Amino acid sequence: MLRRPTDHEIASAGFPFAPTPHKGGLALDKPKKVSRAYFVDLLYSAQEQLVTKRGIKDSAMTRILVTGGSGFVGSALTKALRARGFTVIGTVSTEKGDFVRCDLTDPVLVSDVVSKAQPDVIFHCAAISSAIHPLHLEYYGTNVLGTKNLLAAIKALGRRTRFIFLSTAGVYGNQSVEELHEALQPNPVHDYGMSKLCAEFWIKQAVEFCDPTIFRPFNIVGPGQNDAFIVPKLAKAFAQGERQIRLGNLDVYRDYIEITAACSVLADFIDQPAAIGETINLCSGKATSLRELIRAFQAVAGYEIEIIQDMAFVRTNELWRLIGSREKLDRLSPRRMALRSVQEMARDMFDYYKEQHATTLRPLRARFAADSA
């Protein structure tokens, strides 16, 4: 996975004088001036030898762009990639910390960001990811046209780029089989799933200039997830000692995978040639009912909570059973990180929100104690 050397790297390498062979600290040939194109070819050759010798996963020369870098998955993935020694540039739609601003709906800005980043690998995580977003057109503006803008920017680089896209298991919709496998005809029931399916289509058309892999994540969960989603919503309620909780449909089944394991799988596929052009489920392959999930949190918290079924949370286009087949994932990545049980995930989420709740209460308790003194 080679990238074009920057002007600084070219100058630092000694341009316009070509590197000369050495022996015992002495140059065997006199330095000679060469053209810029020839010099860049020499640097490409050096990169190729390094990547061949060490593998891309160990190459400090690899630059990775993560769109949606401050989001739940994007931030965890950025952390995981940096831990492996990669240079990572994260993007956000609005100014935030050391991230690069990149509004995917602005083709000029997207092109500028990609051109400056010169990535070898792109993880496209940015999206409107809630299935109940009120402004339906925004799904297609961000998830579809935003992806097209990103692909156009990649094409403009003039070289092949590894492209890993996070779609959604929601593209499957309701199917007649127990486990959802990648060969099924998609049948999305909401705009989120439909917009991701449209993005998948455009990515498949881009194989002439990039090396894509499409992942269809099922329910990725973990600390830091938006508590509008069911698992953090339950964790937060139990951690705060709530006695009641309002929920929608209770008889649904989901496939949960913990965020650390999910990011480990994604990072493993940077250097997986067999996955290029493939669509792969990112899943555990295990069905967990909402009632079972509630029981797991009750066991961790040590009490039972009253469930109130609220029609405001009931979806008319509900996905009743969303369980992935992991056959292809097992075949392509047989030695990936071991998955954690639902009970272990519930414990992690409960502890996270318990600490958050305690942190929020500490200054209030200190103020109360001061007022009472």
CATH number of the structural domain spanning residue 261: 3.40.50.720
60 shares its domain with 47: no
168 shares its domain with 182: yes
46 shares its domain with 99: no
Tally helices (H) and strands (E) across the chain. 12, 16
Structural domain ending residue among the three candidates 10, 34, 53: 53
Strands 161-166, 210-217: parallel, antiparallel or unpaired by DSSP? parallel
131 shares its domain with 153: yes
189, 319 in Cβ contact below 8 A? yes
38 shares its domain with 155: no
Residue ranges of alpha helices (H) inside the chain are 7-12, 36-54, 72-83, 107-117, 136-138, 146-156, 191-204, 230-239, 259-268, 290-301, 327-332, 342-372
How far is 293 from 286, CA to CA, in rounded Å? Answer: 13
149 shares its domain with 185: yes
168 domain residue, yes or no: yes
Domain around 25: 1-53
48 shares its domain with 149: no
64 domain residue, yes or no: yes
124 domain residue, yes or no: yes
14 shares its domain with 152: no
359 domain residue, yes or no: no
181 domain residue, yes or no: yes
61 shares its domain with 126: yes
Q: How far is CA 352 from CA 100, 158, 244, 337, 357, in A?
A: 28, 45, 20, 22, 9
109 shares its domain with 30: no
268 domain residue, yes or no: yes
From first to last of the 373 residues of the chain, give the pLDDT tens digit.
Answer: 444 455 555 555 555 655 555 444 444 455 566 666 665 566 555 554 444 333 454 456 799 999 999 999 999 999 999 999 999 999 998 777 778 999 999 999 999 999 999 999 999 999 987 766 666 788 899 999 999 999 999 999 999 999 999 999 999 999 999 999 999 999 999 999 999 999 999 999 999 999 999 999 999 999 989 888 999 999 999 999 999 999 988 899 999 999 999 999 999 999 999 999 999 999 999 999 999 999 999 999 999 999 998 888 877 777 889 999 999 999 999 988 888 899 999 999 999 999 988 886 656 555 655 565 5
270 domain residue, yes or no: yes
Which residue numbers are catalytic? Answer: 192
* Backbone angles phi and psi of 164, in degrees to 5: -115, 120
How far is 178 from 168, CA to CA, in rounded Å? Answer: 18
Q: How far is CA 152 from CA 37, 128, 364, in A?
A: 25, 20, 52
How many domains, the chain?
Answer: 2
Partners of 23 in beta bridges = 26
Partners of 165 in beta bridges = 124, 214
238 domain residue, yes or no: no
Partners of 100 in beta bridges = 91
pTM of the model: 0.80
16 shares its domain with 107: no
41 shares its domain with 96: no
